[in-house]
Amino acid sequence: MLAKFIHGLSALLQQVIQMVRGAQDTPETTRYQVIPRDHHSISRQGISEPAKKVLHRLNKAGFDAYLVGGGVRDLLLGLSPKDYDIATNATPEEVHELFRNSRLIGRRFRLVHVLFGREMIEVTTFRGNPEDAKQKQSHSVNDQGRLLRDNVYGNQEEDALRRDFTVNALYYDIRDFTVHDYAQGVADLKDRQLRLIGDPVTRYREDPVRMLRAIRFAVKLDFEIAPDTAAPIHEQAHLLKDIPPARLFEEILKLFTAGQGEATYQLLQEYDLFAPLFPDTDSALEEGESDEVIRQALANTDRRVRENKPITPYFLFAALLWPALRVNWRRHLDRGEPNYQALHLAAGEVQARQSQSIAIPKRFAVPMKELWELQVRLPKRQGNRADLLLEHPRFRAAYDFLLVRENAGEDCDNLGDWWTRYQDADEEQRRQLIKSMAPASKPRKRRRRSPRTT
């Protein structure tokens, strides 16, 4: 009885809100809903202390401030959010002034990071619709409609409609514990649908990275990409070529290190999104190279994430570019270059070309190449070489990579097994293992053409 009454009351309240908003000229496409505290599953306990602190302080200073994005979405799904984003009507400068532990960042999107030890809360000012704005210089697009700057401020509703997916445009108000929904995000959340707000093609043109975000969220949340949102991706995938390589690096890491890299790779391939990101690998696969090393490495990484073990981006990139490396390496061998030199040159070329699409920072690019080069050194174990290799800072990664290659079906003369035993062996057994090796100094036949790592 009481529940029925409350339900009736909340429906009435929503009607009143909609009437008031209607009077304010709300676009008809927007069906605004306020979900009261007892109609959703978010509780304050689920929100991190730093996020609550930021919300309360902004509210106390007279600003509106809401939890938004992944934080609200994940809490409603019963997941624990990776980080918290807050949207407010305070300008970045006003936010910065309120928090000593904050810094202003970004050009494309100006925002504030508030730091609490290792936790960082991202505070953004409500974005507006640039079409209506007089401040056109704050907003700029390139020829394809890509947003280069987006600093036109607006109200909460405009902010909601500038977000990417409906389920990412929900706001939690800590003052009265309500959830604000401008884009039917709650309905999509219930139906497990990932749906872009607005016209999908326009939204992908504004920011092609949204295609990658669609894949990432579909895999992470186990959602279906709504048909209208999915359909244009094949056609628009090429737009990823114009994204600044540094931004893509960050996105790629998020895609492959969230614990479901293998499924993500599969979906990227299905939507033709892998080729513009890794063009050299793509053409190697076209030439018939296998992508099993990529799949195995991603499966490995997924396992490590599940076990809370650290993961190394250079290992991932070494795998993602391995088919490209093999093709280029072979090309150098065909020119008669010695094996190690052929590998070294190919590694440099593959890395340089890749950096035009994804900027792999030096701190990962250097060890990635070392890992590759170790693949031709691992077979060379005579004398004290095996012991020297064991001390190499990249030995462990190179050994793991060798196992991945073997698992993927590459024939490496059981080298992985040998190294596994060598690492477990005592001094005496190690000498035996080296003795038991087939004499490796036997000259190899010159006409062998495929990349040689055994």
CA distances 166 to 170, 275, 298, Å, are: 8, 28, 29
Question: Can 272 be counted among the known catalytic residues?
Answer: no
Pick what 188 binds: Mg ion, ligand ATP, none; C-beta below 5 to 8 Å, kind-dependent: none
Could you tell me the end-to-end alpha-carbon distance of the chain, in angstroms, rounded to an integer? 77
Question: Can 83 be counted among the known catalytic residues?
Answer: yes
Which one of the listed residues 74, 85, 159, 280 is annotated catalytic? 85
Nearer to ligand ATP, 241 or 452 (CB): 241
**Is residue 50 at the binding interface for Mg ion, with CB under 5 A as the rule?**
no
Nearest to residue 397, comparing CAs of 430, 360, 368, 432?
Answer: 368
> What residue ranges bind ligand ATP (CB under 6 A)?
69-70, 82-83, 85, 163-164, 168-169, 207, 209-210
Stretch that binds Mg ion, among 79-87, 88-96, 146-154, 281-289 (CB under 5 A): 79-87
Pick what 207 binds: Mg ion, ligand ATP, none; C-beta below 5 to 8 Å, kind-dependent: ligand ATP
Question: Can 413 be counted among the known catalytic residues?
Answer: no
Q: How far apart are CA 70 and CA 84, in angstroms?
A: 7
112 φ, ψ to 5°? Answer: -125, 135
Residues 54-73 that bind Mg ion (CB under 5 A): 69-70
Pick what 394 binds: ligand ATP, Mg ion, none; C-beta below 5 to 8 Å, kind-dependent: none
Nearer to Mg ion, 209 or 237 (CB): 209
Nearer to ligand ATP, 78 or 288 (CB): 78
Residues 205-264 that bind Mg ion (CB under 5 A): none
Coil, strand or helix at 58: helix
Which one of the listed residues 150, 159, 164, 173 is annotated catalytic? 164
CA distances 298 to 249, 371, 430, 437, Å, are: 16, 16, 32, 32
Pick what 40 binds: Mg ion, ligand ATP, none; C-beta below 5 to 8 Å, kind-dependent: none
Q: How far apart are CA 189 and CA 226, in angstroms?
A: 12
Largest Cα span, the chain: 89
Structure tokens at 280: 């050299």
CB of 213 to ligand ATP, least distance (A): 6
Q: How far apart are CA 277 and CA 451, in angstroms?
A: 25
Coil, strand or helix at 352: helix
Nearer to Mg ion, 120 or 147 (CB): 120
Q: How far apart are CA 430 and CA 92, in angstroms?
A: 62
Name the residue with the smallest CB distance to ligand ATP: 70
CB atoms within 10 A of CB 58: 24
Nearer to ligand ATP, 214 or 346 (CB): 214
Pick what 64 binds: ligand ATP, Mg ion, none; C-beta below 5 to 8 Å, kind-dependent: none
Coil, strand or helix at 207: coil
Catalytic residue set: 83, 85, 164
